[in-house]
Amino acid sequence: MKYEKLVDRFIAYAKVNTRSNETSTTIPSDPKEVAFLAKLASEIKELGFADVRTMKDGYLFARIPASKGKETVDPIGFIAHVDTADFNAENIQPEVHENYDGESVIKLNDDYNLDPAVFPNLHNYKGHTLITTDGTTLLGADDKAGVAEIITAMSYLLDHPQIQHGEIEIAFGPDEEIGVGADHFDTKNFAAKFAFTVDGSIKGELEWATFSASAAVIKAVGTQVHPSSGFGKLINPLIAIIDVFNLLPNERPENTKGDQGYYYLLNLDGDGDSAMANLIIRDFKRDGLAKRKQILADAVKKVNSAYPHLVLELSQHDQYYNMADILKDHMESVHLAEAAFKALSIEADEQPVRGGTDGSKITFLGLPTPNIFTGAENLHGRYEFASVQDMELATDVILKIIELHSK
Ligand SMILES: [Zn+2]
């Protein structure tokens, strides 16, 4: 095997619980992430990465210096996140299934299976070695696969000094899954001209267009009186919020696809006294996002106007923007990745992502950062799995990007 340590590295990282914490007000959101990043720091120092440093925002930065004679090549960067999604991450036990036949049901435990009838994508992995969960946790390949691939590619370069390359910047960060990790990414201290997040999924993914995103909180204060004497007096805050949602266009994640945006009610909590809802709005176009925010604001206003006093309060904030708005004028990084895919006979899938990436934020901070695949699927839950062959390919892509760029 070309990358002897890739699998061991990935499994070792996957076993560490680094679930981020949405309710935290600090970045990194959880001490578990800090501890894992500190361990990574000593590991990459030992491997020979230069300039290993922890930044104020929790990011671990490092550098692979240019080969002699390649100092004038523009530095490029690779970025991955260490936190895992909002799913059980206690006692993760990755399981290796060698030479999968592309047909069988993979038993995770007595209650859960990976069944090609449910996940037909499994047919694509005939002959692959798959790494799955034991059915009780997520795997965390999102994005421990990216971390392992970047470290493996860099350590390959360090072990093969005959490969000539320019300077490479590396960053491992916290809290991607709760959408805040990259908010303060220190582009000024990250010397790359452009970078890649290694945080995609299926082989071939090359993502440079994402949603533009905004989040809304609706708070409602009701008037609680006994229902027997409620006539004309009782105001039910839960109903007020439901009324708002029913005024919105019927565009929801479950009935939109492709380039269509949506409104998504994340939660609704409360009682007769007060209630609160969180929802998110997604649209590929900036003006489309603005229009949807206005529709929500108008709906709140309309419901409020039916009451004798203010019942609903709305706050909205933008989360990230479609990175294609910037990247369309800075396509060098995308073209480089396309060339690397082509050289490795990987068919590029450049469909806009119905989501965002750390790259969306980092791109808007001034560092063009498309996203490439990691070789894992069914992310964020117990059905997550990674293909060893595709993880190797992702590692090949990183090295090929560097090789082509350094010519
Ligand atoms: Zn991710």
Q: Compute, in angstroms, the gap from residue 374 CA to the centroid of ligand 1.
A: 10
Specify the pLDDT at position 51: 98
* Average pLDDT of the residues in 365-390: 97
Candidates 143, 167, 176, 207; catalytic one: 176
Residue 142 labelled as part of a binding site: yes
Specify the pLDDT at position 179: 85
Q: Using an 8 Å Cβ cutoff, are 297 and 334 in contact?
A: no
> pLDDT by residue (tens digit) across 269-306?
999 999 999 999 999 999 999 999 999 999 999 999 99
Computed over every residue of the chain, the mean pLDDT equals 96
Specify the pLDDT at position 356: 80
Closest among 222, 289, 282, 226 to 256, alpha carbons compared: 282
**Rounded-to-integer distance, Cα 61 and Cα 58, Å:** 9
176 is catalytic: yes
Residue 371's contacts (CB-CB under 8 Å, 6 or more residues apart) are: 196, 197, 198, 199, 200, 205, 206, 207, 208, 353, 357, 359
Specify the pLDDT at position 196: 98
Q: Compute, in angstroms, the gap from residue 176 CA to the centroid of ligand 1.
A: 6
Residue 349 labelled as part of a binding site: no
Specify the pLDDT at position 265: 96
> How much of the chain exceeds pLDDT 70, in percent?
100
* Average pLDDT of the residues in 129-142: 98
The phi-psi region of residue 122 (left if phi > 0; otherwise alpha if psi is between -120 and 50; otherwise beta) is alpha
* Average pLDDT of the residues in 9-32: 95
Specify the pLDDT at position 157: 97
> pLDDT by residue (tens digit) across 256-269?
999 999 999 999 99
Between 133 and 179, residue with greater pLDDT: 133
Residue 17's contacts (CB-CB under 8 Å, 6 or more residues apart) are: 32, 84, 89, 90, 91, 92
Does the pLDDT at position 2 exceed 90? no
306-301-256 Cα angle (round to 5): 115
83 is catalytic: yes
Specify the pLDDT at position 357: 77
Closest among 323, 397, 403, 406 to 367, alpha carbons compared: 323
Residue 69's contacts (CB-CB under 8 Å, 6 or more residues apart) are: 164
Does the pLDDT at position 255 exceed 90? yes
Specify the pLDDT at position 156: 97
- Which residues are near ligand 1, the ion (C-beta closer than 5 Å)? 142-143, 199
Q: What is the DSSP letter of 205?
A: B
Residue 384 labelled as part of a binding site: no
DSSP 11-43: HHHHHS--B--TT--SSSS-HHHHHHHHHHHHH
Does the pLDDT at position 1 exceed 80? no
> pLDDT by residue (tens digit) across 342-377?
999 999 999 999 988 789 999 999 999 999 999 999
β-pairing, 76-81 with 194-198?
parallel
Residue 74 labelled as part of a binding site: no
Alpha carbon separation from 255 to 37, 59, 258, 264, 378 (Å, rounded):
39, 37, 11, 11, 20
**Rounded-to-integer distance, Cα 95 and Cα 85, Å:** 19
Residue 329 labelled as part of a binding site: no
Specify the pLDDT at position 292: 98
Residue type (1 letter), 59? Y
> pLDDT by residue (tens digit) across 24-52?
999 999 999 999 999 999 999 999 999 99
Q: Compute, in angstroms, the gap from residue 197 CA to the centroid of ligand 1.
A: 9
Q: Using an 8 Å Cβ cutoff, are 135 and 109 in contact?
A: yes
**Rounded-to-integer distance, Cα 154 and Cα 402, Å:** 10
Residue labelled with tokens 């990987």: 346
Residue labelled with tokens 């990247």: 327
Task: Select the CATH number that applies to the domain covering 6-209+322-406 from these four: 3.40.1360.10, 1.10.3720.10, 3.40.630.10, 3.30.930.10.
Answer: 3.40.630.10
* Average pLDDT of the residues in 117-141: 98
Specify the pLDDT at position 202: 97
* CA Rg value for the chain: 23
> pLDDT by residue (tens digit) across 76-95?
999 999 999 999 999 999 99
Domain ranges of the chain: 6-209+322-406, 212-320
**Rounded-to-integer distance, Cα 145 and Cα 13, Å:** 9
- E strand or H helix at 291: helix 286-305
Three-class SS of residue 254? helix
Which CATH architecture does the domain made up of 212-320 adopt? 2-Layer Sandwich (3.30)
